[in-house]
Chains A and B, each alone.
Chain A
């Protein structure tokens, strides 16, 4: 019993990371109809920006105000770098293709992913090899009723939940959110009603890419190792989660991320020798969900797009 609970606890942190990536992918798909396969790589940009800043700030393991402040500044720089990179990608690589078929935007984002990964490999000092990411969160472990809970997990989950609630508030309650939802619903009508579609879309890219940056930073804090292609895994998992939930729906993305994280943990935990088959289980679930509910779990049943 304890083992099961322990597996679930470990899964929750993964769920949190996937959820942030999936919501960004889902939002982007909703507003421009293009699957952005460079999403995770944009997050990687943030991680390496933060790492670069961290090398400038002295980190002593004892803590202290300057360390906390330095770490905070580094993480903020990382998130900001991701957001800026996301807007640049939209303006330079995706917006010029707005009138072309969606697959061309997808391919363009693949090219962007190449550029980001190779730029890190070539221009970041020693970027070809995995680098260690300092563990900024003290390695404290709590024991609750026989289950060990890492402080890192707690922080990750709290941050993710806060962000999800904030995003939901922004999308549901603010003026910007109303504009976003109108674009999600129908881009042409939103444009004709005076919504500044390009500006709002760019802002959504900043927001979503910032989330990707946070997710990648969370993953860096979780594993303490970063490398140039870490974003690809995030993209694939986040994308899967977004699709299981239904593209274009952020709550669906959340649900999908939780499912993906739980399935991964369950396969690794309960099936003997199962950790090698984690991804197989996740994608088999994806295919099953798509066949049973072709537009994802929370997707709207619309007219077939031709």
Chain B
């Protein structure tokens, strides 16, 4: 991918060092999660704030980031390799692996939302409804005896279909009003799950959802190889990593093809796109359906990894939290969206030492970051010419 900001071609050695640094960053972050106490956490947070606030450091950091993203295929490969190394440093402690797996589930969802919000500027406040549909479909089908992969396919297809129906509404309504339609959709889904007790077991939720298994090895068994032994949560971690990599690949392929250029055009000037012969409503409908399909795999993973789902997991706040991941990370930029998702999901876990003040600090952080960095932590380089 050619970045909007061209860089001096760097030497082979410095590139290799940079890639190695990216790979090494992941296990280091893992060690941070595992071992950092209150003091280190606070110090690291202050360091990050300083990096964002002091202009000299900020330009340095963002130039390095741009240089890395300029060769984005190798950058992504380095990220994947680094992320795959994380379980090795965790030892027998499965807790953070589990937290990271669920964070990746949310990252898959955030990539889906990013296609709607970041690429074509459609606000979806009911994404948790799609997430719920996927989780419940997969859970109910697996309880009915279906294999997980078949349930996952059915769930993803259903999400795509419901997304297309939502997209139909976008033909008539636009902007904030479409956001309301999706808000209504999310709330209706939630209410129906609560009320249709014969199907969903109401607000008690569904328990004992079977773990995912492959050749008799389920996600509840520890990995025991001659040279390696990992806690059971590592299965879920690798599975989520695989699905996330797939989601990033799909999103990037679309973004770099003509579809991505059309997304940018529709976002910036849909009249212009229509004048050049694009069927804008149909295009928008297909985009919304595609973005909704990402809720499928994430819902399936969520249901089967946790093994218990209830309506409380799929409220409006959930939708908004995923939106916040996209916006804080940097709308339109896949790397930014992933960073936002991981930070927003993992930070509250790491902030547990704050006790009851956790959510208060979380809300404050949200407002402060938005006010000081409204384009996100890693803004999309393609949008430097976008109108606000």
The number of residues on chain B lying at the interface, defined by a beta carbon within 8 Å of a beta carbon of chain A, is 47
How many cross-chain pairs have Cβ atoms below 8 Å apart between A and B? 131
Task: Give min CB distance, A142 to chain B, whole Å.
Answer: 35
Task: Give min CB distance, B357 to chain A, whole Å.
Answer: 6
Q: Cβ of A121 and Cβ of B269 under 8 Å apart?
A: no
In the bound complex, CA of A110 to CA of B317 (Å): 9
Q: Does A118 contact B (CB under 8 A)?
A: yes
Q: Cβ of A114 and Cβ of B359 under 8 Å apart?
A: yes
Task: Give min CB distance, A286 to chain B, whole Å.
Answer: 5
Q: Does A290 contact B (CB under 8 A)?
A: yes
Contacts of B363 in A (CB 8 A): 111-115, 118
Q: Cβ of B370 and Cβ of A103 under 8 Å apart?
A: no
Once A122-B360, A283-B188 are accepted as A-B contacts, the answer to whether A294 and B174 lie under 8 Å apart by CB is: yes
Q: Cβ of B177 and Cβ of A110 under 8 Å apart?
A: no
Q: Cβ of A107 and Cβ of B388 under 8 Å apart?
A: no
Which residues between 59 and 76 of chain B lie within 8 Å of chain A, taking CB atoms? Answer: none
Contacts of A284 in B (CB 8 A): 184, 188
Q: Cβ of B176 and Cβ of A107 under 8 Å apart?
A: no
Q: Cβ of B367 and Cβ of A108 under 8 Å apart?
A: yes
Once A115-B367, A283-B187 are accepted as A-B contacts, the answer to whether A291 and B173 lie under 8 Å apart by CB is: yes
In the bound complex, CA of A92 to CA of B228 (Å): 53
Q: Say whether chain B's binding surface is mostly helix, strand, loop, or mixed.
A: helix
In the bound complex, CA of A295 to CA of B269 (Å): 20
Q: Does A276 contact B (CB under 8 A)?
A: yes
Task: Give min CB distance, A215 to chain B, whole Å.
Answer: 20
Q: Does A99 contact B (CB under 8 A)?
A: yes
Which residues between 221 and 237 of chain A lie within 8 Å of chain B, taking CB atoms? Answer: 236
Task: Give min CB distance, A256 to chain B, whole Å.
Answer: 11
Task: Give min CB distance, B380 to chain A, whole Å.
Answer: 13
Which of A101, A236, A247 has the most chain B CB atoms closer than 10 A to its own CB?
A: A101
Which of A35, A92, A100, A118 has the most chain B CB atoms closer than 10 A to its own CB?
A: A118
Q: Does A144 contact B (CB under 8 A)?
A: no
Q: Does A305 contact B (CB under 8 A)?
A: yes
Task: Give min CB distance, A141 to chain B, whole Å.
Answer: 32
| Contact digits for A290-306, partner B, Cβ 8 Å, 1 yes 0 no | 11001110000000111
Q: Does B4 contact A (CB under 8 A)?
A: no
Task: Give min CB distance, B325 to chain A, whole Å.
Answer: 11
| Contact digits for A60-75, partner B, Cβ 8 Å, 1 yes 0 no | 0000000000000000
In the bound complex, CA of A280 to CA of B227 (Å): 55
Task: Give min CB distance, A3 to chain B, whole Å.
Answer: 23
B117, closest chain A residue (CB): A103
Q: Cβ of B327 and Cβ of A104 under 8 Å apart?
A: yes
Task: Give min CB distance, B186 to chain A, whole Å.
Answer: 9
Q: Cβ of B362 and Cβ of A290 under 8 Å apart?
A: no
Name A294's contact: one of B117, B177, B191, B271 (CB within 8 Å): B177
Q: Cβ of A107 and Cβ of B180 under 8 Å apart?
A: no
Contacts of A239 in B (CB 8 A): 180, 183
Q: Cβ of B374 and Cβ of A279 under 8 Å apart?
A: no
Contacts of A197 in B (CB 8 A): none
Once A108-B367, A286-B180, A296-B177 are accepted as A-B contacts, the answer to whether A118 and B357 lie under 8 Å apart by CB is: yes
Once A107-B327, A122-B356, A122-B360 are accepted as A-B contacts, the answer to whether A287 and B185 lie under 8 Å apart by CB is: yes
Task: Give min CB distance, A8 to chain B, whole Å.
Answer: 24
Which residues between 333 and 386 of chain B lie within 8 Å of chain A, taking CB atoms? Answer: 356-357, 359-360, 362-367, 370-371, 374-375
Which residues between 73 and 115 of chain A lie within 8 Å of chain B, taking CB atoms? Answer: 92-93, 96-97, 99-104, 106-108, 110-115
Residues of A within 8 A of B (CB): 29, 35, 37, 92-93, 96-97, 99-104, 106-108, 110-115, 117-119, 121-122, 236, 239-240, 243, 247, 276-277, 279-280, 283-284, 286-287, 290-291, 294-296, 304-306
Smallest CB-CB A-B distances: 10 pairs: A114-B363, A111-B366, A283-B184, A118-B360, A111-B367, A100-B374, A115-B363, A294-B173, A118-B359, A96-B371
Pairs across A and B, CB under 8 Å, 21 listed: A93-B367, A100-B375, A101-B121, A102-B176, A104-B370, A108-B370, A110-B366, A111-B364, A111-B367, A122-B360, A236-B187, A239-B180, A247-B176, A280-B191, A283-B184, A283-B185, A286-B181, A287-B169, A294-B172, A294-B173, A306-B269
7 new A-B contacts, CB < 8 A, other than A247-B177, A291-B181, A295-B177, are: A35-B179, A107-B327, A108-B367, A110-B320, A110-B366, A290-B178, A291-B172
